[in-house]
Chains A and B, each alone.
Chain A
Amino acid sequence: MEKADIIYDFADGDELELEAIMNQYSRPLLRYCHNVLCNYHDAQDALQLTFLKAYGKRSYFKAGAPLSPWLYRIAYTTCIDMMRKKKRAFILPVSKQQTQVDDGYIPENIRAALMTLSASDRALVFGRVMEEKSYEELSEIHGKSAAALRKRYERARKKLLTTLKDDYPHYTKLEESK
């Protein structure tokens, strides 16, 4: 099944189309969710929810429109909602909190650096740096203007680098020697 066909059929499709879409998008969306949530098991849950929501709301998907921003928008809101629920859980007594398990896939220094950013900013930096999305594409995912995202990205990047530069001194020295 060709990519264009999948997109065209999705609004009226069934599990066949969903499966094709999952095969195509699960890998990049899992990485996206993992880098936003900083927890692999949560990212798996977010990925499942993303596809379930996309399937449940497929009739609202415009036939012929690009599928990727729509799926990323769903993944983004799913991750943000999951983070909010986690925050609320911390208000509960310790005995009722779910234990935060380190998934072991993110080195501790990197996790610490990423956690200085909000989940929304983590999504923004990952989308911009690793997926090379334009601000216009990111605007569709985040539901904010491209200009506002540009400013936010610059701030988030600076914040992240302040923490990271100690871990990557060779890059700093390279820059200084120029």
Chain B
Amino acid sequence: MNKNDDKIIHEMYKNIETPEYDVTKDVLKRIKNVPRKNIALRRVLIIAAVLCLVAAALGAVELIGWQSFNLFGKRVENENITASTPIPPNMQNADPFTEQDNLFVSDSQLGESRLVVLEGGSGGTSGIGSYDSGDLNAIAAYVNNASSPLLLPSYIPDGYVFTKGKVELYLDVKSLDSELVSSEVKDGKIYEIYKLPEGYDKKIRAVTLNYLGENGEKLRYQIMLSYALNENTAFSHGAPESAEAEQIKILGFDEAIMIHDGEKSNFYLNIAVLYKEIPEINAVFSLVFALHPSENMPHFSEEAYIETYSAFIVSIKTESLSVEELIKIAESIN
């Protein structure tokens, strides 16, 4: 590469002035529920400020902050919590995908749920392990053994080889009685590990199967529990906003959409999104707020942390298959 060429381009960009712009105010204004959340935020900040003042005055921030709330606990980094039901081999948490859609990753292992809760209960996150395997039969056996309503395709076009799959789980209402194994407070956050109740590993939320064609073309099949089909569903499953969508008919499904990417960028040439209603399933929407109800978050009532799935959605993404082949895969789901 010619260094002078680079210098010319560098110098060109240096001549472009981009003034400062405070985007924060404009963005927050445009978020609909700013007033309610700002009140919550203000309360948290006030409480935090008062706590800090009191703690600073007494010179014992950690003791007062945490001992009185009985939150001392040793963090168990690598504790191997055995699940109550047999778990197939090849359990891994490494995410084999580079795409960012629909794959929740956490450092949780199967058999446990790890929570991180912000001090004051104003936020947090939780995760449970997933079952990952490079063996399609093992994935299929896992799904069958769980008696899940989620279905896998029996047809995949010639030349495609299964590479990796993932089974993700949900927590049902029984998980609200999960046993606390450890708790630690660090840097304004509470880290907790819960042992999940028996049968948790039969509650499948989503299954993802990945295939590669002879020339490295990607094919992904994903089926997941859902509570509704709306106009954004297809696009929240990875379709770019520039894509065009059309309704199609697939036997056995209540609704089907075929999405074509006008740009034909990688992996989004054609996507089929299928929707089917199933008997209702109640799942815990947020274990964080279910186990840490907070006065600062009154909108997280008991009803709010339970959600009901009444359908499943399938998305089949490909960067090379024709619409006809996609429909054949869709029709083989059983």
Chain A contact residues, CB within 8 Å of chain B: 2, 5, 8-9, 11-19, 22-23, 26-27, 30-31, 34-35, 40, 43-44, 47-48, 51-52, 55, 57, 60-65, 70, 73, 77, 80-81, 84, 105-107, 110, 113, 125-126, 129-130, 140, 142-145, 157, 160-161, 164-165, 167-168, 171-172, 174-175
Cβ-defined partner of A57 (8 Å) among B5, B18, B34, B236? B236
Contact assessment for A161 and B107 in the assembled complex, using a CB-CB cutoff below 8 Å: no
Contact assessment for B27 and A52 in the assembled complex, using a CB-CB cutoff below 8 Å: yes
Q: Is B129 an interface residue (CB 8 A)?
A: no
Q: Is B21 an interface residue (CB 8 A)?
A: yes
Contact assessment for B100 and A70 in the assembled complex, using a CB-CB cutoff below 8 Å: yes
Contact assessment for A110 and B15 in the assembled complex, using a CB-CB cutoff below 8 Å: yes
Cβ-defined partner of A63 (8 Å) among B17, B125, B187, B286? B125
Q: Determine how close the nearest CB of chain A comes to the CB of B235; give it in whole angstroms.
A: 10
Complex CA gap A144/B265 in Å reads 6
Q: Determine how close the nearest CB of chain A comes to the CB of B304; give it in whole angstroms.
A: 14
Q: Please judge, given known A-B contacts A52-B27, A61-B100, whether A12 and B286 are in contact too, CB under 8 Å.
A: yes
Q: Determine how close the nearest CB of chain A comes to the CB of B62; give it in whole angstroms.
A: 18
Contact assessment for A40 and B122 in the assembled complex, using a CB-CB cutoff below 8 Å: no
**Total of A-B residue pairs, C-beta within 8 Å:** 159
Q: Determine how close the nearest CB of chain B comes to the CB of A104; give it in whole angstroms.
A: 9
- 19 example contacts (A-B, Cβ-Cβ < 8 A) are as follows A8-B125, A9-B118, A12-B288, A16-B123, A22-B27, A44-B21, A47-B23, A51-B27, A62-B105, A63-B104, A64-B105, A70-B100, A77-B242, A106-B17, A107-B16, A129-B9, A157-B9, A161-B5, A168-B12
Complex CA gap A34/B18 in Å reads 7
Contact assessment for A126 and B28 in the assembled complex, using a CB-CB cutoff below 8 Å: no
Contact assessment for B105 and A63 in the assembled complex, using a CB-CB cutoff below 8 Å: yes
Known: A48-B23, A63-B104. 18 other contacts (CB 8 A): A5-B187, A5-B189, A11-B104, A14-B123, A15-B31, A16-B41, A19-B28, A34-B16, A44-B21, A57-B236, A61-B100, A64-B106, A77-B241, A105-B18, A129-B13, A142-B265, A174-B4, A175-B4
Residues of A contacting B9 with CB < 8 Å? 125, 129, 157, 160-161, 164
Chain B 9-42, CB-CB to A under 8 Å as 1, else 0, gives: 1111101111111111011101100100110110
Residues of B contacting A23 with CB < 8 Å? 24
Q: Is B137 an interface residue (CB 8 A)?
A: no
Chain B contact residues, CB within 8 Å of chain A: 2, 4-13, 15-24, 26-28, 30-31, 34, 37-38, 40-41, 95, 98, 100-107, 116, 118, 122-125, 127, 187, 189, 236, 240-242, 265-268, 286, 288
Contact assessment for B28 and A62 in the assembled complex, using a CB-CB cutoff below 8 Å: no
Complex CA gap A19/B24 in Å reads 6
Complex CA gap A80/B10 in Å reads 23
Contact assessment for A110 and B23 in the assembled complex, using a CB-CB cutoff below 8 Å: no
Q: Please judge, given known A-B contacts A81-B241, A143-B265, whether A48 and B30 are in contact too, CB under 8 Å.
A: yes
Chain A: CB-nearest residue to B28: A15
Contact assessment for A143 and B266 in the assembled complex, using a CB-CB cutoff below 8 Å: yes
Q: Determine how close the nearest CB of chain B comes to the CB of A49; give it in whole angstroms.
A: 9
Chain A: CB-nearest residue to B16: A106
Contact assessment for B105 and A110 in the assembled complex, using a CB-CB cutoff below 8 Å: no
Residues of A contacting B107 with CB < 8 Å? 64
Complex CA gap A125/B16 in Å reads 14
